[in-house]
């Protein structure tokens, strides 16, 4: 494993028993072990991209259409390729999980402390009993079930998808801090061995994950992680897969190039 590389984290909406899912959340992370610096950027799910053989569509649809027609592995690899072409940077590793496995992953480290930046009303929860519950802004101790609900919500948020990206950033910080807590470091090898149970797809081996975990054991996400967002204009545009117009995001190309060239 090199000392500097990019890792793509994908959260899909694939449900148990399904053979295909949409890329519902995507975060690209740059790891620089020499400098102990880390940068993360969220890729909007509705970003307009080109899929070879199909035309223009939403990024979220790439994985679904390729899994439906080609297979599970081909779907996630197509999503990775699309993001690589969009950003213009190499992606060395990818890790995909879904919401159910993400919940189990959080529970494997116990509840986490998460800084919720604003009130979150659960309008489209995974679990019916959580309908219309409100998670208040501030530091909250949440179990896997509730973390999963929070990072899924976007409909009630003032900034929609961009607000959800902020929630996902804070959840990631909370998970990393809990996993790398001094009291858990001794359990890190067994924890990483169990991670494979919560991953839908990845090209990282268990030894790759363990090496990364041990290398960042002193990592402080509040000081060493810089988070970025890619902005764009929402437009109603023709989707070549759906053969109809839908809402898509056209990223600001100059901002995209600047962030990628400077941090990734």
Rg (CA), the chain: 18
| Distance in angstroms (rounded) separating the CA atoms of residues 223 and 218 | 11
Residues 6+ apart with CB under 8 A from 177: 112, 113, 221
Structure tokens that stand for 251 in this block: 């990223």
Q: Is the pTM of this model over 0.85?
A: yes
Supply the pLDDT for residue 19.
Answer: 76
Supply the pLDDT for residue 242.
Answer: 92
Which residue numbers in the chain have pLDDT < 70? Answer: 1, 16-17, 184-188, 191
Supply the pLDDT for residue 1.
Answer: 66
| Distance in angstroms (rounded) separating the CA atoms of residues 90 and 55 | 23
Mind listing the domains of the chain with CATH numbers?
A: 4-263 (3.40.630.190)
Supply the pLDDT for residue 185.
Answer: 64
C-alpha closest to that of 99 among 37, 21, 39? 21
Supply the pLDDT for residue 17.
Answer: 67
């Amino acid at each position: 494993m090199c000392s500097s590389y990019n890792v793509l984290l994908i959260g899909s909406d694939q449900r148990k028993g399904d053979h295909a899912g949409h890329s519902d959340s995507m975060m690209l992370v740059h790891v620089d072990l020499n400098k102990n610096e880390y940068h993360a950027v969220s890729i909007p799910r509705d970003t307009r991209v080109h899929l070879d053989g199909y035309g223009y569509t939403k990024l979220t649809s790439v994985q679904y259409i390729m899994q439906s027609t080609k297979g599970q592995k081909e779907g996630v690899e197509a999503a990775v390729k699309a993001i690589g072409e969009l950003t213009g940077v190499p992606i060395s590793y990818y890790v995909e999980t879904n919401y159910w496995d993400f919940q189990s992953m959080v529970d494997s480290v116990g509840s986490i402390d998460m800084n919720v930046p604003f009130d979150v009303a659960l309008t489209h929860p995974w679990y019916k009993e959580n309908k219309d519950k409100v998670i208040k802004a501030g530091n909250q101790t949440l179990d896997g079930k509730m973390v999963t609900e929070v990072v899924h919500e976007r409909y009630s948020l003032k900034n929609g998808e961009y607000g959800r990206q902020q929630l996902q950033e804070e959840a990631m910080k909370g998970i990393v801090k809990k996993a790398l807590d001094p009291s858990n470091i001794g359990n890190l090898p067994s924890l990483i061995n169990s991670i494979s149970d919560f991953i839908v797809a990845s090209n990282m081996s268990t030894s790759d994950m363990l090496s990364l975990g041990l290398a960042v054991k002193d990592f402080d996400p509040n000081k060493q992680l810089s988070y970025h967002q890619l902005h764009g204009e929402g437009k109603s545009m023709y989707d070549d897969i759906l053969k109809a117009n839908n809402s898509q995001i056209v990223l600001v190309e100059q901002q995209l190039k600047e962030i990628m060239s400077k941090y990734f």
